[in-house]
Amino acid sequence: MRILIVDDEPAMHDSYRRSFAPAAGDTGALEAMAAELFGDDSADATPDDAIDFALTHAMQGLDGVAAVEAALASDEPYAVAFIDVRMPPGIDGKETATRIRKLDPNINLVIVTGYSDFSPIEIAKAAGPADKIFYIAKPFEVAEVTQMATALAHRWRGDRELAEARETLAAQVVQLQEQGHELAANESRAIHMANHDSLTEAPNRLAFRRALTDRAQLSGQFAVAMVDLDRFKLVNDTLGHLAGDELIRTICDILQTSIPAGGLVARLGGDEFGLLFDTPGAEAAEMECQRILKACTGTFKVLGNSVQGGASFGLIVTEPGETRDPTDLMRRADLALNDAKREGRGVVRLFDEGMDENIRLRRAIEGGLSQAIAKGELSLVYQPIVAREELEVIGFEALLRWNTNDHGPISPAVFIPIAEETNLIHELGDWVLGESLKVLAEWPSQYVSVNFSPRQFRRHNFVARLVETVQRAGIDPRRVQIEITETAIFDDADRAADTLYKLRQMGFRIALDDFGTGYSSLYNIRKFALDCLKIDRSFIDGMGRERESAAIVHSIIHLGHALGLGVIAEGVETEAQLQALRVAGCSHMQGYFFSRPVTQDVACEIAQARYMLDPAAADAVEPGNGTHG
């Protein structure tokens, strides 16, 4: 440890040399003095803490300043400087201390004098801070000097280590901030790709559905129109897909220019577009569509070729007081579009009840659903969830099936929304949870993943009911995974965050289902207690065909890794998809490639076997049903 001595008397330099010369003896008195001067920590010094001092002697203040400057230049700074106050004919100790402090803010200064022209306050103001300047009176004791040097050297070393630690921490903070910015940028790009069509940059089907959902919650009438280009296949077949793409971009521009103010144009896929706009009534909406149709009809130049453009419109206008289910509105607009195409194309058709043969079926389903449990028409099937590397079966997703006597099997996509609207979802949900818990006793260690709808999740005392059911069944909550969509938690984020936190505290697993298709954001993921993200099957299906889908899948996987969450890819159907997901780092997968949804008995066999040794051969499927959920 380097120490600087600045004094104009040779005898004083000899005293310093003797003071720091190695000598045997009892150090107890020195340690006691250090404890009194600098606190208890200094008294804890052990022989291992002994310091070798290297002394530099300067006879005048300017020599001392030059020594400090040279030491800093060679990156060998002084820990302590002992400075005499009176040093004629050069600069005095106050000026020396002031100049040294300007050069080295970290050095500890000890003012040594028998008589001074300056008060300690004056010197501290010029050469402070006060916690780095100390005083010793002449004549001094050897122990006084050595203990002062030892204690200040330890302190100087500690200050340097603390400063280095702070620099390291600051660098890590900067790195984390940069990673956060990069993650946010990736998320922004992923959200944009997930919600926009790559060909036209218009909103896609997901964005259209979300906008329709938001608009349905507001008052006032609005119109939904489905638009399909007439004879588009002929353009593709005769002029090629590049010409077809150019025609789609041209029509999209026309639609966006022609849509009423505040309206939305989305490309739903292929040559189909969706329109959403406010309207005072059906007649006004039909006139607007006729005007837009006229703008889309005519001859267009496409890659140097003349192409005859045209379109068909299917229109639905909401009525005051009616139920505004987004799925039903889009379905009715589609029915009207199909009717327009049957009528010879190039027309606008307004939906009427006569177009919807499914309305009668819907009413029949609504009535039969209330008796489904009593009639024993409901059943559960289970689809394995496997780990990436060895395809170990770590859980099963429970999927509800309804096989009626009158209409045969009815898809969950049909009856679940009806149950949600009629409040039957609670009765069905309780039955699904109870049946799912029963099979856990037959599985060695796997968990069961149960879907909960938004209405179930917002049910009064949801947590208490769930915990009571699981405890009554004697099941460890860690073997139950709760699957929810972002829609279920977005309406009341604070309440949802509290609910999920309570469930996690009790041991339940939480999975965010259909991730990437809703209000996906870093804010949601950070706010809610989650275990894993489930990538929607639409992105997995598009990986091999669409660059955007592959990019979204990779972004979700990287996002999950960065936040310490598992990632489950749904809808894995091919070896190529499996390998691509493995390379991307996806932790878990499920889909037809491993197993279709199976009955309880087959699920027990798979659970006992534990590993999917031959996924392609796992064809013990649920009879007569090719759907996943």
Residue with more model confidence, 273 or 366: 273
The pLDDT score that the predictor gives to residue 37 is: 55
- Domain count across the chain: 3
Same domain, 63 and 139: yes
Q: Can you tell me the mean pLDDT for 240-265?
A: 94
Spell out the alpha helix ranges (H) of 79-141.
93-103, 120-127
* Least reliable range by pLDDT among 45-59, 190-204, 296-310, 553-567: 45-59
Mean pLDDT check: name the lowest of 317-326, 427-436, 483-492.
483-492
Please indicate, yes or no, if residue 170 is contained in any of the structural domains.
no
Look-up: residue for tokens 């849509």? 259
Tokens coding 477: 């909550």
Does residue 186 lie in a domain region? no
**Residue 81 CB neighbour total at 10 angstroms:** 27
Please check whether residues 334 and 451 belong to one and the same domain.
no
In a domain, 483, yes or no: yes
Q: How confident is the model at residue 482 (pLDDT cuts 50, 70, 90)?
A: very high
Residue 344 predicted with pLDDT over 90 = no
Judging by DSSP bridges, how do beta strands 298-302 and 272-278 pair with one another? unpaired
The residue ranking higher by pLDDT, 187 or 286, is 286
What average pLDDT does the segment 58-72 reach?
A: 93
Question: Residue 105 to residues 96, 99, 133, 163, 316: CA-CA distances in angstroms?
Answer: 14, 10, 11, 13, 77
Q: How far apart are CA 408 and CA 423, in angstroms?
A: 23
Containing domain of residue 17, as a range? 2-164
Confidence of residue 13 (pLDDT cuts 50, 70, 90): very high
Question: Residues 322-330: what's their mean pLDDT?
Answer: 85
> Do residue 557 and residue 501 come from a single domain?
yes
Considering the domain architecture, whether residues 214 and 266 belong to the same structural domain is answered as yes
Least confident segment among 14-18, 57-61, 359-363, 463-467: 359-363
For the residues 605-614, what does the mean pLDDT come to?
A: 86
pLDDT band at 26 (very low <50, low <70, confident <90, very high): very low
Same domain? 395 vs 319: no
* Cβ pair 391, 397 in contact under 8 A: no
In a domain, 174, yes or no: no
Same domain, 349 and 430: no
Output the pLDDT for position 458. Answer: 86
Tell me how far the alpha carbon of residue 526 is from its chain's centroid: 6
415 vs 421: CA distance, rounded Å: 10
User: 521 pLDDT exceeds 90?
Assistant: no
Same domain for 436 and 523, yes or no, is yes
276 lies in the same domain as 367: no
Percent of the chain with pLDDT over 70: 89
Q: What is the pLDDT of residue 378?
A: 93
**What pLDDT sits at residue 518?**
57
Average pLDDT over residues 469-493: 87
Q: Give me the DSSP letters along 238-258.
A: HH-HHHHHHHHHHHHHHHHHH
Q: How far is CA 299 from CA 56, 215, 310, 348, 387, in A?
A: 94, 35, 9, 20, 55
Does residue 319 sit in the same domain as residue 303? yes
For residue 537, name the pLDDT band (cuts at 50, 70, 90). confident
Domain shared by 12 and 41, yes or no: yes
The vertex-123 CA angle with 119 and 125, nearest 5°, equals 115
Answer yes or no: do 365 and 342 share one domain: no
Contact in structure between 568 and 589 (CB atoms under 8 Å): yes
Least-confidence region, from 168-182, 230-244, 277-291, 482-496: 482-496
Residue 47 pLDDT level (bands cut at 50, 70, 90): very low
Nearest to residue 413, comparing CAs of 623, 210, 629, 206?
A: 629
At 3, is the pLDDT very low, low, confident or very high (cuts 50, 70, 90)? very high
For residue 64, being part of any structural domain is answered with yes
Q: Would you call 98 helix, strand, or coil by DSSP?
A: helix
Provide, for the chain, the percentages of residues in helix, strand and coil under a 3-state DSSP scheme, each rounded to the nearest 5.
50, 20, 30
Predicted pLDDT of residue 319: 85
User: DSSP states of 56-79 as a string?
Assistant: EEESSHHHHHHHHHHHHHTT---S
Instruction: Determine the pLDDT at residue 143.
Output: 84
Read off the CATH number of the domain in which 274 is found: 3.30.70.270
Residue 626 in domain: no
If asked whether residues 347 and 389 sit together in one domain, one would say no
Query: One-letter amino acid identity for 501?
Result: Y
Under 8 Å between Cβ of 447 and 481? yes
User: What is the per-residue pLDDT for 88?
Assistant: 79
The one-character DSSP state at 572 is -
How far does the chain reach from its first CA to its final CA, in angstroms? 73
Give 595's pLDDT tier (boundaries 50, 70, 90).
Answer: very high
What phi and psi, each to the nearest 5 degrees, are found at residue 331? -65, -45
Q: Is the confidence at residue 11, as pLDDT, over 80? A: yes
Of the ranges 4-8, 135-139, 230-234, 393-397, which one carries the lowest mean pLDDT score? 135-139
Q: Can you say whether the dihedral through the CA atoms of 419, 420, 422, 427 is positive or negative?
A: positive
Question: Does the model's pTM come out above 0.75?
Answer: no
pLDDT band at 356 (very low <50, low <70, confident <90, very high): confident
List pLDDT tens digits, range 572-594: 999 999 999 999 999 999 999 99
Phi, psi of 544 (to 5 degrees): -80, -15
Q: What is the C-alpha separation between 532 and 512, in angstroms, rounded? A: 6
Is residue 187 included in any domain, yes or no? no
Tell me the CATH number at 135.
3.40.50.2300
Confidence of residue 112 (pLDDT cuts 50, 70, 90): confident
- pLDDT band for position 351 (50/70/90)? very high
CA distances from 503 to 6, 247, 433, 465, 510 (A): 69, 52, 15, 12, 8
Determine, yes or no, domain membership for 628: no
Lowest mean pLDDT among 412-421, 447-456, 593-602: 412-421
- Average pLDDT for the chain: 86
Q: Between 459 and 450, name the one with better pLDDT.
A: 450
Q: Looking at residue 584, which CATH number applies to its domain?
A: 3.20.20.450
- pLDDT exceeds cutoff 60 at 28: no
Contact call for residues 451 and 483 (beta carbons, < 8 A): yes
**Which of 105-119, 136-150, 298-312, 614-628 has the least mean pLDDT?**
614-628
pLDDT band at 313 (very low <50, low <70, confident <90, very high): very high
- Residue 51 has a pLDDT of 79
Model pLDDT, residue 92: 87
